[in-house]
Amino acid sequence: MAQIVKRAYKFRLYPTNEQAAELSRTFGCARLVYNKALEHRSRAYTLEGRKVTYVQSSAALTEWKKTEDLAFLNEVSSVPLQQALRHLQAAFANFFAKRAKYPTFKSKKKSRLSAEYTRSAFTYRDGQITLAKMNAPLNVVWSRPLPEGAQPSTVTVTKDAAGRWFVAILCEDHITPLPPTANVVGVDAGITALATLSTGQKIVNPGHERADRRKLAKAQRDLARKEKGSANRQKAKLALARIYARITDRRRDHLHKVTTRLVRENQTVAIEDLTVRNLVKNRKLARAISDASWRQMRSMLEYKAQWYGRELLVVDRWFPSSKLCSACGAIQRSMPLGVRDWVCACGASHDRDVNAAKNILAAGLAER
């Protein structure tokens, strides 16, 4: 039976000069409102021990718009500004629930440039989207169709460091679960092999960052030589950002293909609960671990398994998957990273990663 899910469809966007200027103003105003509201809430709690709610922040925004210094906030759509306050409220909720650190101020140079529009601030008609404060629809490259009869609930416009514009359209989609299968698989995430399966198959890690490391190094040197604040430095910065964008796009595309295949072919997928944040503290492996992007792979497996009626099992991070013999259950005293093949006292010969994948699958099935 098909289930209804909220799904975001992302497309390239080519705004006109006027639209780009309007969106840039909106980005700046949304960032300003977020920072000002954060400062207001932090000061109220520090000086008075008082918590400021979203409703109070919204009322404060209304007052800010009436001042001479912040009157320019009235020039952009009010919806992205309200959404900035909602994002701040969510950030505080995550902080108080101990899911995240205390919210930080958004930097003009480092923060993601985005503006979120809800239904009252855009129209979707005849396959075209027109945002509030704009007279013409956006020039969107519809690389794939939206679901039939889709009614977008949210439109988010972003601009990345490489100067590319995107629009993400959130709407409801009907997803039909995949036919059941008896296949189960354990997955051991790695560096040389992105994923080693309990079946013995290894999915190679393309190493997209490593492949473009020479280009990256040259672009970084070019940027370092340019004078700060100069136009040439901006050009060099953009060139570097484009290389990073290419790496990120290729990595994401590969992870989508790998995770979709694992979910399609198996009813149950077992993985290890790796703490990437701690693993990247190893200076020798941090770059390779980041390039493998294990966290993103797990995130994709989680939502795809939920969409398509599959089961994702997560094994405790302290489970000795590499040191445990999958044949007899004996645990080795130590297993240095350099040991890729080993023989157990019972006579079983193991490939380190394949053995770990088998143990992850067995542990996941046992903990169901």
Cα atoms found within 13 Å of the Cα of residue 84, Cβ hemisphere only:
28
Pairing state between β 311-315 and 268-272: parallel
The Cα–Cα gap between 15 and 24 comes to 11
Contact 28, 106 (CB under 8 A): no
The Cα–Cα gap between 76 and 133 comes to 7
Please say if 63 is a catalytic residue: no
Selecting among 22, 173, 209, 272, the annotated active-site residue is 272
The Cα–Cα gap between 352 and 340 comes to 5
Mutual angle of helices 17-48 and 54-66, in 10-degree steps: 120
Selecting among 22, 173, 291, 353, the annotated active-site residue is 353
- Token look-up 């759509």 returns 77
Selecting among 188, 253, 302, 341, the annotated active-site residue is 188
> Among residues 156, 161, 154, which one has the least CA distance to residue 112?
161
Please say if 272 is a catalytic residue: yes
List alpha helices for 197-310, DSSP H. Answer: 208-211, 213-225, 231-265, 276-279, 286-292, 294-307
Please say if 249 is a catalytic residue: no
- Residue 233 is encoded by which pair of tokens? 């430095």
The Cα–Cα gap between 196 and 206 comes to 14
The Cα–Cα gap between 271 and 263 comes to 12
- Residue 112 is encoded by which pair of tokens? 């993601």
Cα atoms found within 13 Å of the Cα of residue 314, Cβ hemisphere only:
10
Instruction: Just list the catalytic residues.
Output: 188, 272, 353
